[in-house]
């Protein structure tokens, strides 16, 4: 599980060891010495920041709305910076008394799992390759902001993109920039993330409309507690996530499809007879999905069995499920968070991100959230 809380805890360790807040420590020992004068950890949301860019998100009614945060927590994020300051940070990678090579080695040493398998993730950085060149990269997003920074150390070339709109696609843009400047440096041809018109590593095969439609349907992953759909749109099979985002796929055999777009090769191996498929991607565990029948509404009897106050001892927090006509609304500490919808028997979902798995008597549920939290126990009281 990836946990932002782990990075927040690291910030608390810095505070405990140094005797000052992480914001003060970083300012005195990193930002000011590197000349990053427009960079700071924003641990006071009321602080006025000169030339600050507001964050925006698309509105369902058209246009945009401001999307900001009032959180004062730092460690997992909260850095205010500029492209020019990040360029100074990037320059320190190639030689700096402030951030020496021992520091960067520790930052870029990749991890090893308990089973001995190496992964591409290092200390908050992903270390992998793109078109034959080593890259050190990480993207991030929060409220109305998106960002990505990709370093090509062999070429001493980096792309930094900061965006203040939630629908920006900085990673896609960053690789477009890299392709413009580094096309003569690439060591081998592989798929790019840019478009379907670019060359791919596997040749597509031709399937009939009937063959493609046989894979259509709704699928559920018991392990990941998430749903997916396979849908044919304009003669192309699409992988549709539970938030509605779709990715086109092309067939590479009678039962295998490769996604169009992702930088890493993501392959789906499907079985139209047993109605199941397996998602395969590098450095990730296999994800198995089995066909199921989604529930789109509550029965009259179901509604009332879910309603109530539920307590989590681990978090010392109450979640309340309240009925509003034929809907269920989740309240946390008295504040409404949104409508909770039924996706299958004994499973509710909030914004397609959080799932609530109930027991048969509906007096307990387990909360999970997309690789961040799994099986937190809540008991009705």
- pLDDT tens-digit readout, 39-81: 999 999 999 999 999 999 998 889 999 999 998 999 999 999 9
Q: Which helix (H) or strand (E) holds 22?
A: helix 22-26
Confidence (pLDDT) at 264:
59
- Max Cα–Cα distance, the chain, nearest Å: 68
Cα(12)–Cα(196) distance, integer angstroms: 45
Confidence of residue 1 (pLDDT cuts 50, 70, 90): low
| pLDDT for 224 | 82
Mean pLDDT, rounded, for 120-139 = 92
**Is pLDDT at 12 greater than 90 in this prediction?**
yes
CA atoms of 158 and 140, how far apart (whole Å): 16
Backbone angles phi, psi at 243, to 5 degrees: -95, 5
Q: Give residue 333's pLDDT.
A: 82
Q: Are 340 and 349 in contact (CB under 8 A)?
A: yes
Q: What is the mean pLDDT of the chain?
A: 89
DSSP count for the chain of H helices, then E strands: 7, 24
Per-residue confidence (pLDDT) for residue 188, from 0 to 100: 64
Nearest to 103 by CA among 112, 111, 94: 94
* Residue 108, φ and ψ in degrees, nearest 5: -110, 0
Query: What is the pLDDT, as a whole number, of residue 115?
Result: 86
Rounded to a whole number, what is the distance in angstroms from the first to the last CA of the chain? Answer: 29
Positive or negative, the CA dihedral 313, 314, 317, 320 is: negative
- Establish how many alpha carbons lie within 13 A of residue 170's alpha carbon, considering only the half-sphere containing its beta carbon: 20
Residue with structure tokens 């699928």?
A: 219
Q: Does pLDDT of 301 surpass 80?
A: no
Nearest to 328 by CA among 308, 354, 352: 308
Whole-number pLDDT of residue 27: 97
Closest by Cα among 119, 76, 128 to 262: 128
Instruction: Spell out the domains of the chain, with CATH numbers in brackets.
Output: 4-182 (3.40.710.10), 209-291 (2.40.128.210), 300-380 (2.40.128.50)
Neighbours of 189 (CB within 10 A): 12
For residue 192, the model assigns a pLDDT of: 41
Which residue's structure tokens are 């300012």? 27
Per-residue exposure over 340-356, b if at least 16 CB sit within 10 Å of its own CB, e if not: bbbbbebbbbbebebbb
CA distance 130 to 191: 9
| Percentage of residues of the chain with pLDDT beyond 70 | 93
Segment 219-239, tens digit of pLDDT: 999 888 888 999 999 989 999
- Percentages helix, strand, coil for the chain (3-state, rounded to 5) are 20, 35, 45
Q: What are 176-209's pLDDT values in tens digits?
A: 999 999 999 998 644 443 333 333 445 678 899 9
pLDDT of 200 reads: 42
pTM for the full predicted model: 0.71
Band of the pLDDT at 325, cuts 50, 70, 90? Answer: confident
**Nearest C-alpha neighbor of 42 from the set 15, 70, 19:** 70
The residue-averaged pLDDT of 266-287 equals: 84
């Amino acid at each position: 599980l990836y946990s932002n809380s782990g990075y927040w805890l690291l910030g608390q360790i810095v505070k405990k060891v140094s005797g000052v807040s992480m914001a003060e420590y970083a300012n005195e020992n990193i930002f000011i010495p590197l000349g990053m004068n427009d960079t700071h950890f924003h641990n006071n949301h009321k602080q006025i920041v000169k030339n600050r860019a507001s964050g925006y998100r698309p509105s369902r009614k058209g246009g945009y709305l401001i999307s900001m945060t009032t959180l004062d927590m730092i460690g997992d994020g909260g850095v205010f910076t500029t492209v020019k300051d990040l360029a100074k940070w990037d320059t320190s990678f190639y030689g700096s008394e402030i951030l020496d090579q021992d520091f960067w080695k520790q930052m870029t040493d990749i991890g090893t799992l308990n089973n001995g398998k190496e992964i591409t993730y290092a200390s908050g950085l992903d270390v992998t390759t793109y078109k034959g060149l080593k890259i050190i990269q990480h993207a991030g997003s929060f409220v109305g902001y998106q960002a990505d920074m990709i370093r090509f150390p062999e070429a001493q070339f980096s792309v930094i993109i900061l965006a203040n709109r939630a629908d920006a696609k900085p990673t896609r843009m960053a690789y477009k920039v890299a392709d413009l400047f580094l096309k003569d440096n690439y060591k081998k041809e592989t798929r790019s993330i840019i478009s379907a018109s670019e060359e791919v590593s596997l040749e597509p095969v031709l399937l009939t409309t009937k063959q493609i439609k046989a894979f259509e349907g709704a699928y559920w992953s018991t392990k990941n507690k998430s749903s997916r759909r396979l849908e044919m749109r304009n003669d192309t099979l699409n992988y549709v996530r539970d938030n509605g985002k779709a990715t086109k796929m092309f067939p590479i055999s009678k039962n295998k499809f490769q996604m169009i777009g992702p930088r890493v090769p993501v392959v789906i191996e499907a079985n139209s007879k047993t109605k199941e498929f397996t998602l395969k991607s590098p450095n990730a565990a296999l994800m198995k999905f089995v066909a199921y029948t989604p529930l789109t509404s509550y029965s009259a009897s179901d509604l009332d069995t879910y309603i109530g106050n539920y307590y989590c001892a681990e978090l010392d927090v109450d979640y309340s499920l309240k009925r509003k006509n034929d809907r269920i609304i989740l309240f946390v500490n008295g504040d409404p968070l949104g409508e909770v919808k039924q996706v299958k028997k004994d499973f509710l979902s909030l914004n397609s991100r959080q799932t609530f798995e109930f027991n048969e008597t509906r007096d307990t549920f387990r909360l999970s959230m997309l690789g961040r939290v799994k099986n937190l126990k809540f008991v009705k009281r």
